[in-house]
């Protein structure tokens, strides 16, 4: 692609009524990114210098989302210059939408036009389109469709040359039978676009300015470039079902890319990995695992069946046994989690530490080689190294008004079924007898025990058994 003056105009002003949602259509997500985000990225990946997004419905929300996505990470500081918006107040057709973007289109160069609701467009198709445009005023993508309903039809002349696009509502019966359709993606020479777009008129069945009429104008004075496209990659999203199909296709792409790079994925159809997650070659991902957001899974980490991770970092050698749910957390080297563990935000599991079955953790650091193995709740805690938290232990971190902290220093042993009423601190090497409710700080190396002394009522059980038996005989 030419190195200068390639601008993408991305149409995203429509309402998307069929989504039946308050959210602007282009802000619905596929594999963790917005539809418009995908379109903008595809354009950049193809090599455009700048994107102009035409906004209308939900304009403020769309602009905020663009700012949020493209003022971050790799697009940092470039957003204002590289992703711009143009406003189309009233949706009077695709031609009108591009007119609204004219002030941001250069005098010369290539203008790529795509939609904000077609997230699967391959950058390679956009590149081929620009290539095909080089020596021509206009190039477009076409695709073959068994059921072309709803699409503009490609009309070709006797020599097979593209002559025009006819919108379905304006088609004759013969034209309607054409199966070659217009997915709506074009590249045009900027000067041609500026002149030709002034000629458009709303003299058609919908009373709109049709961008598609530019094809006929270009064909009158020269050959139009054509790139063959696969309709499965070019379909727009119009309703929740199409969104779901698109999601499935995108996820398949992501999983395939990762598996081919060396990630061991048990079952590509059941695994879902968001576009922004990093999974390194040599990681193992089990059946039905979902990895969301900005998670990162190291080489040598193993995520077993059914785990759901969102913004979780898993270091090398760590193992998540089946059915763990974790959010905004980190899991250190060679740590072991689950099965059935729930790691809530800000859990930091240290190297070789363990969080076992039916445990819940939140905002807690668990030090190197410490264990929280069975049915425990640890929240707002700091657990040192080599600590053992027994079965059923609860950190009572909430007093009904505020959260408080539990601190267990290195080498502490907390016996089963104990409660630690925060704020409280247990000193290094101390031992909490099982069933103790700890309400005061425990000195290092001490034994803390707080439970009702055990009594025996001799023979009570036998006497009661006999009494009950007599009662029944009566």
Instruction: Assess contact for 91 and 209: CB atoms under 8 A.
Output: no
Instruction: Enumerate the β-bridge partners of residue 58.
Output: 56
Which of 94, 125, 311, 327 binds ligand UD1 (CB under 6 A)? It is 94
- 290 a catalytic residue: no
Tokens, residue 331: 């899991």
Query: In which residue are the tokens 């408080």 written?
Result: 404
CB of 153 to ligand UD1, least distance (A): 8
Question: Which residue's C-beta sits nearest to ligand UD1?
Answer: 152
Contact flag: residue 186 with ligand UD1 (CB under 6 A) = no
Binding mask 11-40 for ligand UD1 (x = CB under 6 A): xxxx--------------------------
- For residue 54, with 0-12 CB atoms within 10 Å meaning exposed, 13-18 middle and 19 or more buried, which class applies? buried
Q: Which residues pair with 279 in a beta bridge?
A: 297
Residues 187-226 that bind ligand UD1 (CB under 6 A): 210-212
Pick one of 49, 69, 117, 247: the residue that binds ligand UD1 (CB under 6 A): 117
Q: Whose Cβ is closer to ligand UD1: residue 54's or residue 197's?
A: 54
Query: Does residue 229 belong to the site contacting ligand UD1 (CB under 6 A)?
Result: no
Alpha carbon separation from 90 to 44, 65, 179, 236, 288 (Å, rounded): 28, 21, 31, 21, 44
Annotate 300-334 with b (16+ C-beta within 10 A) or e (fewer). bbbbbbbbbbbbbbbbebbbbbbbbbbbbbbbbbb
Q: Which residue, 182 or 329, is less far from ligand UD1 as judged by CB?
A: 182
**What end-to-end distance do the CA atoms of the chain give, in Å?**
100
The residue from 374, 382, 404, 456 that is catalytic is: 374
Radius of gyration, alpha carbons of the chain: 32
Helix (H) or strand (E) holding 66: helix 59-70
Which token pair is 334? 């060679």
Q: Which is nearer to ligand UD1, 203 or 458 (CB)?
A: 203
Q: Which stretch binds ligand UD1 (CB under 6 A): 60-68, 74-82, 175-183, 466-474?
A: 175-183
Please state the closest distance from residue 109 (CB atom) to ligand UD1, in A: 22
Provide the token pair at 108: 């010369």
Q: Does 88 bind ligand UD1 (CB under 6 A)?
A: yes
Q: How far is the CB of 270 from ligand UD1 (least distance, A)?
A: 31
Q: Interacting stretch for ligand UD1, rule CB under 6 A, among 119-127, 179-187, 321-329, 397-405? A: 179-187
Q: How far is the CB of 154 from ligand UD1 (least distance, A)?
A: 9
- Beta carbon nearer to ligand UD1, 143 or 391: 143
């Amino acid at each position: 692609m030419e190195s200068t003056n390639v601008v993408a105009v991305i149409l995203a002003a429509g309402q998307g009524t069929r989504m039946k949602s308050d959210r602007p259509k282009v802000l619905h997500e596929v594999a963790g990114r917005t539809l418009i985000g995908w379109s903008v990225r595809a354009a950049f990946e193809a090599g455009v210098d700048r994107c102009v997004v035409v906004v209308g419905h939900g304009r403020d929300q769309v602009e905020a989302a663009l700012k949020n996505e493209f003022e971050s990470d790799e697009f940092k500081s470039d957003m204002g210059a590289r992703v711009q918006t143009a406003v189309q107040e009233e949706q009077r057709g695709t031609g009108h939408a591009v007119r609204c973007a004219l002030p941001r289109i250069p005098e010369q160069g290539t203008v790529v036009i795509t939609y904000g609701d077609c997230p699967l467009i391959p950058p390679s198709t956009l590149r081929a389109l620009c290539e095909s445009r080089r020596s021509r005023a206009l190039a477009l993508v076409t695709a073959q469709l068994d059921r072309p309903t709803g699409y503009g039809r490609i009309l070709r002349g006797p020599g097979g040359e593209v002559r025009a696009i006819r919108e379905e509502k304006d088609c004759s019966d013969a034209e309607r039978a054409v199966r070659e359709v217009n997915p709506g993606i074009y590249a045009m020479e900027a000067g041609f676009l500026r002149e030709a777009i002034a000629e458009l008129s709303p003299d058609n069945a919908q009373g709109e300015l049709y961008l598609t009429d530019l094809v006929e104008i270009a064909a009158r004075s020269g050959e139009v470039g054509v790139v063959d496209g696969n309709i499965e990659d070019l379909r727009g999203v119009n309703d929740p079902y199409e969104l779901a199909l698109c999601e499935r296709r995108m996820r398949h792409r992501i999983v395939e890319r990762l598996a081919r790079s060396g990630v061991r994925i048990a079952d590509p159809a059941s695994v879902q990995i968001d576009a922004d997650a990093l999974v390194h070659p040599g990681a193992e991902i089990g059946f039905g695992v979902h990895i969301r957001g900005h998670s990162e899974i190291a080489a040598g980490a193993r995520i077993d069946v059914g785990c759901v991770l969102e913004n979780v970092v898993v270091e090398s050698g760590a193992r998540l046994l089946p059915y763990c749910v974790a959010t905004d957390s980190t899991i250190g080297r060679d740590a072991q989690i689950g099965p059935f563990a729930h790691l809530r935000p800000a859990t930091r599991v240290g190297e070789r530490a363990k969080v076992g079955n039916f445990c819940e953790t939140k905002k807690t650091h668990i030090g190197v080689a410490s264990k929280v193995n069975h049915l425990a709740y640890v929240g707002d805690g700091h657990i040192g190294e080599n600590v053992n938290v027994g079965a059923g232990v609860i950190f009572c971190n909430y007093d009904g008004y505020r959260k408080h902290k539990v601190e267990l220093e290195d080498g502490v042993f907390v016996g089963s079924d104990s409660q630690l009423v925060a704020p409280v601190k247990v000193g290094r090497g101390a031992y909490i007898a099982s069933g103790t409710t700890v309400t005061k700080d425990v000195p290092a190396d001490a034994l803390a025990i707080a439970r009702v002394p055990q009594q025996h009522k001799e023979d009570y059980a036998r006497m009661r058994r006999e009494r009950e038996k007599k009662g029944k005989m009566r």
